[in-house]
Amino acid sequence: MSKVVSAAKITAVGIAVPDRILTNKDMETMVDTTDHWIRTRTGIVQRHMVKPGECNSDLASRAARQVLQARGLDPLDIQMIIVATVTPDMFFPPTACIVQEKIGAKNAWGFDLSGACSGFLYALSVGAQFVSNGTCRKVLVIGSDVMSSIIDFHDRATCVLFGDAAGAVLLEPAEEGEKGIMDMILRSDGAGGKYLYMPGGGSMNPPSHETVDKKMHYVHQDGKTVFKFAVKGMADVSQEILARNGVDIKDLKLFVPHQANKRIIDACAEKLGVDQSVVLCNIERYANTTAATIPIGLYEAHQDKRIQKGDLIVLASFGAGFTWGSILLRWEMN
Ligand code: UT7
């Protein structure tokens, strides 16, 4: 993938997290697990979960409205909406269209993007192209997942790992002297598909009593294999993006990895040689929210004033597909 010619920058961030919290102690009452196992093996302490009737587009719309408010925009200013998700409201219409209607962004067009845990980075890269080539001036990029809708709450190997949430950013053209999104490396390897997937409900295994009985509409994962690929994948692309842009790791202000497991984050940071103080980790509060982890990380870093205008940031993700990638950006918000 080639470098971005005229940059897009992030000009606002918003999130939506459901009110309901499920702690590890709560999980102990549901499956044969312990708070100790979950904390030590994953770093997770709690996760948020939608209430009955609350769906993906509700979270995505809330995050989008927060972005509009932060930037002082009218919904009619938005030209494009991309929703990265593996848990859309329905197969169709696209959740992006439902969000468009809910927030009143009548002038926007949009679509969903299925990139699993790399969905947000994929979507950010697509949105950035539309801004940098001059087609759009205001693009909403949303990562939103209701993982509780595809989790088997009887399977301790998966149900403790995920949470529900949405995060959104606004992309606009960078001003003179600004850099915004500087570079991106995006990868996929379909050979990894068998290690993390949801087999039921699509055209290969259309929904039936049998697919439901066989629990095919739930997340299936070979955790150990995904773990190994995730560490190597995120570290490799992050190293590569720093090297090819001549950025010394010491000049990096923030490293925002996908939040799937604290041990993956730590191992990846160690491989990269990046100081812990630079690594964003909030998995203890949200668990793995799939497409939402990275925008939530950016939101919190911005709110906490951990990042300032001019800071260099690397985002990195790994997920089902396999899909993975890294994005290097200079933060241009005050
Ligand atoms: O977002 C991208 C997608 N996902 C990921 O990146 C996840 C990658 N994988 C992982 O994070 C880790 O592999 C897991 C957290 C999923 C599992 O951790 P692990 O250290 O690889 O454990 P394991 O699967 O090897 O299981 C070790 C033991 C097993 O028991 P035995 O066979 O040793 O007796 C499991 O049955 O831990 C058991 N176990 C549990 N015990 C208590 C698995 N899940 C649980 C649980 N509570 N929730």
Q: Is 117 a catalytic residue?
A: yes
pTM over 0.75: yes
Residues with CB under 6 A from ligand 1: 33, 37-38, 41-42, 117, 156-157, 160, 196, 223-224, 226-227, 230, 258, 260-261, 264, 288, 318-319
Two structure tokens written together for 209: 């009593």
313 CA → ligand 1 middle, Å? 30
Percent share of the chain, pLDDT over 70? 99
Helix (H, G, I), strand (E, B) or coil at 305: coil
- Domains along the sequence of the chain with CATH: 8-173 (3.40.47.10), 181-330 (3.40.47.10)
Q: Is 258 a catalytic residue?
A: yes
CA distances from 23 to 59, 179, 259, 322 (A): 20, 41, 17, 29
pLDDT of residue 5: 53
Rounded Cα distance, 237 and 243, in Å: 10
93 CA → ligand 1 middle, Å? 35
pLDDT-based confidence at 6, cuts 50/70/90?
confident
- Please give the mean pLDDT across all residues of the chain: 97
24 CA → ligand 1 middle, Å? 15
Predicted confidence (pLDDT) per residue in 105-125, tens digit:
999 999 999 999 999 999 999
Best of 32, 35, 122, 261 for a ligand 1 pocket test (most atoms within 8 Å of beta carbon): 261
pLDDT-based confidence at 266, cuts 50/70/90?
very high
pLDDT at residue 185 above 80? Answer: yes
